[in-house]
Amino acid sequence: CSCLDHYCAGIFFFLPNICRQGVSQCFGISTWIHGTIDKHHHSPTSMFHCQDYTFTVYKHSCCWFLGPFYHLVRLFHPEYVRPLLMSKSVGQSLLISNGEEWSRRRRLLTPAFHFDILKNYVAKFNSSANTMHDKWCRLVAEGQTTLEMFDHITLMTLDSLLKCAFSYNSNCQESTSEYVSAIVKLSDLIIDRRQNILHHWDWFYWKTEQGKQFKQALSIVHRFTREVVQKRRALINQQRETEAQSNRTKTPQRKKDFVDIILLSEDEDGQGLSDEEIQAEANTFMFAGHDTTASAICWTLYNLARHSHYQEKCRQEVMDVTQEQDGHEIEWEDLSNLPFTTMCIRESLRLHSPVQAVTRRYTQDMALPEGRTVPQGAICLVSIYGTHHNPAVWTDPHEFNPLRFDPTNAQSRASHAFIPFSSGPRNCIGQKFALAELRVVVALTLLRFRLTPGTNPELGSSSGGVRRLPQLVLRAEGGLWLQLEPLNPPNVKEPLDE
Ligand code: HEM
């Protein structure tokens, strides 16, 4: 299937389903590298058509072979995905550490995402969204009624994540910040590197201009987190000493951010994380958290722009909820009172999942339904896109239909049919954070703007026919353009007649 060549150095052979004896038995069939990198024009859209073809024919799984060296088991059905995602025998995950080390860190990080902590972040989501909306109002007043969503929303999610993680007001939506530019640069360089096979070789990459830029951006990011962590550790120690010396009960506490929680958390043996471990975790949050949430917000707004009746229904719901507060803020308590908006967000996460797949390598043979086995050591690619678009699982999978997520339909949905945050022990630790931010930003946007599909001024193509661009997260080819019509504050109450 030539459209996959861009992603992999050679030709894949599809085999109908996983061999009953295991993948390795089938391996002899393909024994040579074809070497067709970039022979065919890269087209993400044909890549998706190709995937649709695969799971229409093979229903739950297939194997891809890349010459003699590399084979991959690709799975896209809940029954097949479930045993793999729920297993504890994961050898490698791409995002962070493995085994015992991962398990300890995960336990220490979990309190940072507790509801009591997330509550404090809602005000920060509001303030970052307000900054973005003020900017949109200014741009619209200047005549720019159509805007590219990823540019704006990525800066907004970075802004809010920096406030939540480090209590750092970067002001990055209004002016450039060295740290934020470095994060954006690193994301771009990672995508570039993936597309150039020679750059996969470390020794070569560090000698290239991109490799040097990567190291430079990385050192800016590391310096920033190191300084934040060290200063905070010093502040917490100082506070403890003052409290001990003055023999007082605790001094009034400021609201805690991620760094505070992680610095204070300890395992059963009273051991916390070292400064280096905390820095690594903080960096992971920044990378795992900002692009993914931005992609989810952009695609939700896009889907609502294309379906004006659903947009109107969400807006009405948000107006009802915020009526008491004059529509200025979304509060923590409001989030559970936005059921239809939440259904639209979930349907958007299904249709345009920010993360397209997760990969795993298992430390033991993994049993799958119908007597099939994934042998130890094989790389498994759990396709989130495939599971979310598999016609054996979803009726009209390409339709945006939020009613699928009506709580009354939950019973009929197979477990693991909807996995935007993956599932099992290594699922997304930030999913509640992301869902809270999504609801705040979508609700405030609908309250202030009417959205319609826009046109990319350079290409002149309508956003109605936007194409998916799978990068680190799902983006749109040529950007995602929406037209904004500012709404008068919809629920400012009329003064009462005396
Ligand atoms: C809509 C937004 C998001 C989506 C769709 C998403 C999706 C995912 C997925 C699919 C994984 C599993 C990756 C794998 O197993 O290889 C994951 C892991 C992770 N995510 Fe998210 N994520 C989102 C937001 C966030 C946020 C806001 C944070 C932090 C603030 C975050 C932090 C993490 C971390 C630390 C992991 C690794 C967990 C582990 O291995 O224990 N994510 N995410």
387 pocket-lining for ligand 1 (C-beta < 6 Å):
no
Mean pLDDT of 206-217: 95
Which residue has the CA at smallest separation from atom 39 of ligand 1? 426
User: pTM for the whole thing?
Assistant: 0.87
User: What is the 183 CA–ligand 1 centroid distance (Å)?
Assistant: 17
Does residue 24 carry a pLDDT above 50? Answer: no
User: What is the 285 CA–ligand 1 centroid distance (Å)?
Assistant: 8
Query: According to the model, what pLDDT value does residue 327 have?
Result: 61
β-bridge pairing 379-383 and 70-75: parallel
Q: What is the dihedral of CA 377, 383, 387, 390, to 10 degrees?
A: -110
3 pocket-lining for ligand 1 (C-beta < 6 Å):
no
CA pair distance 334, 439, nearest whole angstrom: 9
Which residue has the CA at smallest separation from atom 19 of ligand 1? 428
CA pair distance 383, 380, nearest whole angstrom: 9
Mean pLDDT of 243-247: 73
Q: What is the DSSP letter of 250?
A: P
Mean pLDDT of 201-227: 93
β-bridge pairing 366-367 and 379-383: unpaired
284 pocket-lining for ligand 1 (C-beta < 6 Å):
yes
Handedness of CA 317, 321, 326, 328 (dihedral sign): negative
> How far, in Å, are 173, 371, 467, 485 from residue 474 at the CA level?
22, 34, 10, 26
Which residue has the CA at smallest separation from atom 41 of ligand 1? 426
422 pocket-lining for ligand 1 (C-beta < 6 Å):
yes
Query: According to the model, what pLDDT value does residue 91 have?
Result: 53
CB of 386 closer than 8 Å to CB of 76: yes
State which ligand 1 atom lies nearest to the alpha carbon of 94.
Answer: 16
State which ligand 1 atom lies nearest to the alpha carbon of 296.
Answer: 1
Write out the DSSP string of 116-166. Answer: HHHHHHHHHHHHHHHHHHHHHHHHHHTT--EEEHHHHHHHHHHHHHHHHHH
User: What is the 1 CA–ligand 1 centroid distance (Å)?
Assistant: 30
Q: What is the DSSP letter of 332?
A: G
Mean pLDDT of 199-203: 90
Beta bridge partners of residue 86, listed in sequence order: none
> How far, in Å, are 4, 51, 301, 337, 391 from residue 388 at the CA level?
20, 12, 19, 26, 9
CA pair distance 195, 172, nearest whole angstrom: 29
196 pocket-lining for ligand 1 (C-beta < 6 Å):
no
CB of 265 closer than 8 Å to CB of 273: yes
128 pocket-lining for ligand 1 (C-beta < 6 Å):
no
Mean pLDDT of 123-137: 96
User: What is the 102 CA–ligand 1 centroid distance (Å)?
Assistant: 14
Helices (H) then strands (E): counts for the chain: 15, 13
Does residue 217 carry a pLDDT above 80? Answer: yes
CA pair distance 416, 399, nearest whole angstrom: 19
Does residue 22 carry a pLDDT above 50? Answer: no
- Tens-place pLDDT, residues 139-193: 999 999 999 999 999 999 999 999 998 888 888 899 888 888 898 899 889 888 9
261 pocket-lining for ligand 1 (C-beta < 6 Å):
no
* All structural domains of the chain with their residue ranges: 99-352+411-486
- Largest pairwise CA distance in the chain: 88
- Residues counted in the chain: 498
Radius of gyration of the chain (CA): 24
Integer distance in angstroms from the first to the last C-alpha of the chain?
A: 74
CA pair distance 88, 383, nearest whole angstrom: 19
State which ligand 1 atom lies nearest to the alpha carbon of 353.
Answer: 5
Which residue has the CA at smallest separation from atom 21 of ligand 1? 428
CATH number of 99-352+411-486: 1.10.630.10
Query: CB count, 10 Å around CB of 264?
Result: 13
State which ligand 1 atom lies nearest to the alpha carbon of 437.
Answer: 27
Which residue has the CA at smallest separation from atom 36 of ligand 1? 428
428 in a labelled binding site? yes
User: What is the 312 CA–ligand 1 centroid distance (Å)?
Assistant: 31
Mean pLDDT of 416-430: 94
- Tens-place pLDDT, residues 311-360: 999 999 999 999 877 667 899 999 999 999 999 999 999 999 999 999 88
State which ligand 1 atom lies nearest to the alpha carbon of 473.
Answer: 5
**In the predicted model, what is the mean pLDDT of the chain?**
82
420 pocket-lining for ligand 1 (C-beta < 6 Å):
yes
Ligand 1 pocket test, candidate residues 81, 428, 438, 472, most atoms within 8 A of CB? 428
Residue 180 dihedral angles phi and psi, to the nearest 5°: -65, -40
Q: Of 277, 287, 321, nearest to 447 (Cα)? A: 321
